[in-house]
């Protein structure tokens, strides 16, 4: 039997869809953990990234952060936190937030740094205050990269939240980790299919967010170039 037939057979069994460990509950849990982590990471990383890009100070730190980030083993960080902190909300929240910060920070930094100097001069010439220039020119012009950073972080967080089932977190990773432990491949396959679908849904959501957030003028320029 193929992966798809295992996954499909497991998914269409009605009892998976009910109760406190049913699929709808697990999906909501997964979205909850991911959303909360992403929100906290964005609250920290967006202002910081914009500030660094605007002032140009601390750029060295950002570049190195980006390089170091990829080498961090996510499973290792989760397990380490679980052992050091015991199983509490912090033991999964800290790793998820820490891992979501770099892509948001670096892309916000790159986006604001890359804003055309002429644009800023024009804004100043029109009498805009420094804050107006930042919020009405630099941030909107940087918005494609800012959204890209948030999307990367979101995809990363959804994947890492799956692995966090290994340290006892709920969410869709439960089916995978529990299924592997009891060697029930259909459950593992069903969980993996749901996680993959959720990751794709998140990506589609960010295509829509990009459409809403990125100013029309920038989108037209991107299309014509």
Tell which one of 49, 95, 111, 171 touches other proteins (CB under 8 A): 111
The piece of 21-29, 30-38, 41-49, 71-79 that touches other proteins (CB under 8 A) is 71-79
Measured from the CB atom, is 11 or 80 closer to other proteins?
80
> Which of 196, 209, 213, 218 is the binder for other proteins (CB under 8 A)?
196
Binder among 11, 185, 209, 213 for other proteins (CB under 8 A):
185
Q: Could you identify the residue written with the tokens 């890209």?
A: 148
Cα–Cα distance for residue pair 195/198, rounded to 1 Å: 5
**Cα-based distances in Å from 144 to 10, 211, 221, 223:** 39, 10, 12, 13
Q: Does 108 bind other proteins (CB under 8 A)?
A: no
Is there a contact between 61 and 147 (Cβ–Cβ < 8 Å)?
no
In the bound state with other proteins, the residue whose beta carbon lies nearer, of 79 and 128, is: 79
Identified binder of other proteins from the candidate list 107, 108, 123, 138, rule CB under 8 A = 107
For residue 114, state whether it binds other proteins (rule: CB under 8 A).
Answer: yes
Q: Give min distance, CB of 127 to other proteins, in A.
A: 30
Helix (H, G, I), strand (E, B) or coil at 106: helix
Angle of helix 139-163 versus helix 23-55 axis, rounded to 10: 140
Helix boundaries (H) for 72-138: 74-85, 89-113, 117-125, 130-132
Among the listed ranges 45-53, 100-108, 121-129, 209-217, the one in contact with other proteins (CB under 8 A) is: 100-108
CA nearest 92: which of 40, 135, 25, 151?
Answer: 40
Question: Which of residues 163, 169, 174, 214 is near other proteins by CB under 8 A?
Answer: 163
């Amino acid at each position: 039997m193929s992966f798809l037939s295992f996954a499909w057979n497991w998914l269409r069994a009605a009892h998976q869809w009910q109760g406190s460990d049913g699929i709808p509950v697990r999906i909501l849990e997964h979205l909850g953990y991911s959303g909360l982590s992403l929100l906290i990471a964005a609250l920290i990383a967006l202002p910081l990234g914009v500030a660094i890009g605007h002032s140009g100070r601390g750029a060295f730190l950002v570049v190195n952060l980006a390089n170091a980030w990829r080498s961090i083993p996510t499973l290792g960080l989760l397990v380490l936190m679980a052992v050091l902190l015991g199983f509490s909300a912090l033991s999964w929240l800290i790793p998820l937030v820490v891992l979501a910060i770099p892509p948001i920070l670096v892309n916000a930094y790159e986006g604001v740094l890359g804003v055309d100097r002429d644009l800023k001069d024009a804004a100043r010439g029109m009498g805009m205050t420094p804050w107006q220039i930042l919020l009405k020119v630099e941030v909107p012009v940087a918005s494609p990269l800012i959204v890209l950073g948030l999307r990367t972080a979101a995809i990363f967080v959804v994947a890492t939240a799956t692995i966090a089932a290994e340290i006892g977190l709920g969410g869709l990773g439960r089916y995978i980790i529990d299924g592997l432990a009891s060697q029930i491949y259909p459950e593992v396959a069903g969980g993996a299919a749901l996680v993959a679908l959720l990751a794709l849904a998140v990506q589609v959501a960010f295509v829509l967010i990009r459409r809403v957030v990125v100013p029309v003028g920038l989108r037209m320029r991107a299309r014509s170039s």
